[in-house]
Structure 1
Amino acid sequence: MNTRESDFWNERSGPRIAPEYLGNIVATAADLALVLSEGGTVISVTTNPLNSALGQIGHWEGRNITDFLAPDSVAKVTGLLTAVAANAAGRPDAIEVNHIDGGAWDFPVRYTMHLTGRDGRILMLGRDMRPVAELQQRLVRAQLALEKDYEGQRVFETRYRVLLEASNEALVLVDVGTGRILDANSAAAKLFHAGQAALSNSAFTQEFEGRKRADFLDSLIRAAEDESGQAVVAPLRRNGQEVAIRPSAFRNAGERVLLCRIHRTESGPTTSVKQDLSDRLAALYTNGSDAIVFTDDDYRIVQANDAFLTMMDVDSIAPLRGLSFPDTLARGSVDLKVITDTSQIGAYATRLITRFGSSVSVEIVCVALPDGQGQGFVLRDMGRGTMLRDTGVDADMPGDAGLGNATALVGSAPLRDIVASMTDVVEKQCIEAAVELTNNNRVAAAEMLGLSRQSLYVKLRKYGLLQRDES
């Protein structure tokens, strides 16, 4: 059954389209329309007014189409022109070519060729392929970026697995929100007497005897937030063996996760003794009247008890953490050298500088901690009268008197002479103490006393200490 529309296209004289409209229809139907002769000469060029990227190419008219083709596209166009002119069967419906026009034009176009029925002329209708090419390039770049991300993920996944399995300690990752096991290494599977696949996505609480999920997770979270590293002890469900769980909390993609390090607790009287001693030392550290400070290998404060905080006039450890411990001593590094290098002196007397610049007379004992854990310092407040007490040291020089006999000289000599003799006694005792504290290191002793080395030698000769040391 024929309709008016089919009659419109099947008229022998051609469709009834006015010539003045036909060119506009062809121009807007394609991005580029070329009319070629049988030899490939460009007779007419029409560009789509809606595609301004094509520019002005009217100078193509009168020249052969091959002048504006890339070398790899010449054979495609000439072959299709020949096939279309001969109306050969099996020719391709469309071809993609690359146009070049000096440095101004360089982009791909997809062409279809049509016979016009006039003087062997051929109509080439082209579609600009640059948007498609750009989209393809973006897809390729996205694919490369995605492959790179996948490769990086595989690298980190491999490292994560190697580290997890290389650890002899049982490690379990637990989702705080659900309480389920995200991952576990083979050591954890062996400890729980279960397979790794069975542990994955199972409830962490069910591996322990008599534990409620909410209470158990709360205890793990509190232990993770506690800086003291307190462990949570729980019995295993399968064999009743007690284990210690040391959790660490972190966030992964916005979700809270616990990394639980699990190991068997020791049994027997030795454990009980160690735990009892640990509790007593913790009580001594917390409640003792002596100040206790722990530093790292660079002598920076990492922890201190309340007695030291009170001595330094601070409320918390925060303003002191990371502070160099020698900066709190009156003579700084000189005091520290004596304290750490001269182990036989026992307690060393000096002054502690508080946060607000006041000083406190203290005696300090240093203890080196094992395994490179730094040092521990014990400080005792000696009170305001400590430095004025009688040392009981007799003067070796004739005519010298002890500090305790100062009142006996009143009336027997002028006050100026009494004060001068007491000054010599005090000066001699300070020099002797400095030489003794530094193991007869006179450079360090001079620095401790605030004297030059020459001045120290003069005073050693004055009090007869130089000959006694050399002998």
Structure 2
Amino acid sequence: MSRVSIAQPDVTLTLDLEGVIRGASLSEAMTGEELASWIGRPWAETVGEVGVDRVKAMVADAGAAGVSAFHQLTQRFPSGLELPMEYATIRLGGGAGLVAVGKNLRAVAELQSRLLAAQQAREQDYWKLREIETRSRLLFDASSEAVLLVRADTLRVLEANPAAIRSLGIAPGWDVLREVAPRDRDAVQAMLMRARRMGRVPGIMVRLGTETVPWTVRATLMAAEPAPIFLLQFAPAGLVAHGPPAEAVQLDELIEQMPDAFLVLDRDGVIRRANRAFLDLAQVGAAARVIGERLDRWLTRPGANAVVLLGQVQQHGSVRLFATGLTGEMGTEAEVEISALLGAGAAAESIAMILRDVSRRLSPQAPAEDPLRLALADVAAQLGRRPLPVLVRDTSALIERHCIEAALHLANGRRTAAAELLGLSRQSLYMKLARYGMDGEGEAGREDAAPGASD
């Protein structure tokens, strides 16, 4: 026969219908307390002040419904001991009275206390780890040695410190093997394979970039989630023989001291170099916060954003006096003129760009004379008079029309080129021109061939 264990209450009280104690017993876990002095006393007199109302409620509920809900209270024993208890009261048949059964919550309270202590310890460990991570990040950014963190499975750059971005011209997201000269790629792959087995390997000499500048690179394998990473440390192969020429150093200093903002980007619009003037214009404190970011983070004006600018540069090779607005990290907008040049030869994948802040030479009335801003102001004036969906629809139509006009202006009226700038098919552009009444000769500029024909 199997045995069934029944959990016994720690305190059992027999009560009359008024809540007066007629009998009391304790479990074996609570021996040593004499409860004879409780007999004949109201149960409410043996609990803490907070529990008086709860005792009265349990007695009333059990008398009316036969059983009460569980309530927690502090039970005061004759010896002076006070324990947290959880009680429920049950009515006996007929006029036999009530039974109150209580469970000692000291073990639960201890568990809760331990849990709280564990949570506090875990939080302290978390902040210690954050402090260590912050220190590591500061050392990583402040290091004069070029350092890359490369994902081991894809060999793509996860992070690059400012020295690596400045010296190597490598930004996060790039394939590190593509930056190595073809003749040295097998040696780099062999070094990384040894690093997988041994954890750390001596350095080898490799050549980077189109200029095949020699560097000494060391690899260390580090555990990380979801995949291990390589820590690659780069140092010039020869400080004297292979150091940068004096002319290059002077040119770098001149670019850094230029009063106008200067950028070097790749064809995707990712910033590879920025001088101090651009950092001030973008309201950023350190170059590491802009290197690897896309230019469209700051150039967002409809019809004159970074996508339009880069499209013009790649189509024509250069752009002069491209007028737009640059929004800084603090929300301040500056009117800028941009001149950009697509590189050639070894620099064919790079775009050099100069941004000049022209806000001071624009009259204070100039922003108010912008047709788009005037039209948007008219829409905003209708707030409260027209439903919000109608206002949103009108605003979207105004911006769309403005972007089409700007694209046609940049494309000298050629609709096919304007459609490419807008990311639309030519047929879609014709439909939008007809919708806004811009399909006439006066508004659309020089006509292309009929839809479906080649330009």
TM-score over 0.5 (shorter chain): no
TM-score, normalisation: structure 2: 0.42
Q: Which has the larger radius of gyration?
A: 1
Q: TM-score, normalised by structure 1?
A: 0.40
